[in-house]
Every structure is written in structure tokens, then in C-alpha cells.
A and B are shown apart, each in its own frame.
Chain A
């Protein structure tokens, strides 16, 4: 059982991701550190298959996605019991370059508690099991981006 004062926020949203608001909600009086990962739409890709992106169109199986985000938060708490607050937010809809699309934030008392690893785990896990997809639209047409992770039983 996690103490009830440890906030966990998880949501799929069409609204702008408000970092300050989320950070305030996962900061306790005992909190001294937050590790925040946020991903944004990249307009110009040079690594690998170099290309440009006009926008990404995200969709989600929302009720399952939110349940899986809750599961990711529970997995974080099992692995890093020192983590105090967790926020996991995925924005969906039509999103243009430079726009933040996802945010994972974990708070803890101190920075040397594994809180960086916890946030890293959160984004990696989201990209494995949370049902969200994006269609990439660029100068040469549009294409669904497909992941490569095949969930195992119990995931």
C-alpha cells in the first residue's frame, strides 16, 4: 500500500501539457528533487532516415491507455519506493513541431535516490505498453509510426 499522500497523475489529454501545474501537484513538503522528461514533435530528423515532419497526429485507446499509465506508475513505485509523486501525461490530436507531446515526472526527497532512473523507466515503459499511436505527416505524404515492442502475458 502506498501512503495516500503520494500523488499519482496519469492522463491522456487533448489540452496543452502544463508542466508547472503538474509539478506543483506532485511536490510534497518532503520533496527536494524532480526528474522530468518531456518529448516534443521533432520537425527535422537527421538521425537514421533523415526527413522533415509537418505534424504528428496522435490517437489513443483512451481507457486502456490510462489504465496502462497507472500500471507504469505502480511499476515505478515497486522499483523505486523512494519516489514521492508521479505524473504521466500523453497529449493526443494534431501536434506541430516544438510542441510537447508527453511528460513523465517523478519527485523524491533528493536527487541521488534513483529519481532520474525512475523517470527514464516511465517513458521507456510508456512507449512499450501504453496504447497510443502517431501518424507522421511530412512533405512526402503520411505514414503511421509503428513501434516494435510485443507485450508479454501479464503486461
Chain B
């Protein structure tokens, strides 16, 4: 198992109802599989998983990437700073 930290921002945080959580996932889980798991475990997040941006250890990450050991994963909508 891989123990990871999840961070949520903006609309995703509102829908998740929390800023962060920790989770155990299988060692070879990909970002796509993680999104599917979150959508299944947290129905409020299901719709958001289609357009969410994801980072692994503070770098943008994509569906095929395997979640590294003890990763810090963040989920958020397209950015709107300025």
C-alpha cells in the first residue's frame, strides 16, 4: 500500500468538504485510477473529476502517471490568479 496526502482547493475543496485527507492506495495506482476511486468514494466529487487538474509533489500530472510513494497530490480547477 501507498500512504498519500490529498489537498483540495477552490471548487474541489468546497465539494469535498475538506482541505485535505490522507489515504492508502495500491502501490501501482495511476492518476486516472485515483480519480475513479475518488469519484466512486465521494459522489460529490464525481462530476469534478472530469475536468480537475492534478499535481504530484507540486508538478502537474496526467492520467497515465503512477502515484509515487508518500506523494502529495493536489486537486483543483483551472487556475484563476492575477
- Which positions 18-77 of chain B face chain A at CB distance < 8 Å? 53, 55, 58, 60, 62, 74, 76-77
B6 at the interface (CB under 8 A from A): no
Known A-B contacts A64-B74, A144-B77, A146-B77; the reply to A133 vs B82 at CB < 8 A is no
Chosen A-B contacts, 7 in total, with CB atoms closer than 8 Å, are: A130-B79, A131-B9, A131-B74, A133-B80, A147-B78, A147-B80, A153-B60
Contact (Cβ within 8 A) B55 A150? no
B7 within 8 A of A: yes
A144 cross-chain contacts in B, Cβ below 8 A: 10-11, 14, 77, 80
Interface of A is mostly: mixed
- The smallest C-beta distance from B47 to any residue of chain A, in angstroms, reads 14
> What 16 additional pairs, Cβ within 8 angstroms, besides A131-B9, A150-B53?
A59-B9, A61-B7, A61-B9, A61-B76, A90-B82, A123-B82, A129-B79, A130-B79, A130-B81, A132-B79, A132-B81, A144-B77, A146-B10, A147-B79, A149-B79, A150-B78
Residue of B nearest to A91 (CB): B81
CA–CA, A151 and B74, complex, Å: 14
Q: How large is the interface on A (under 10, 10 to 19, 20 to 34, 35 or more residues)?
A: 20 to 34
Asked if residues A151 and B81 are in contact (CB atoms below 8 Å), the reply is: no
Residues of A within 8 A of B (CB): 39, 58-61, 63-65, 67, 90, 101-102, 123, 126-135, 144-153, 155
Determine the interface band of chain B, counting residues with CB < 8 A from chain A.
10 to 19
What's the least CB distance linking B54 to chain A, in Å? 10
Query: Complex Cα distance A131/B9, Å?
Result: 9
In the complex, what residues of A have CB within 8 A of residue B53's CB? 150-151
On whether A134 and B80 interact (CB within 8 A), knowing A61-B74, A64-B55, A146-B11, the answer reads yes
Contact partners of A147 in chain B: CB under 8 A: 77-80
CA distance A60 to B47 in the complex (A): 22
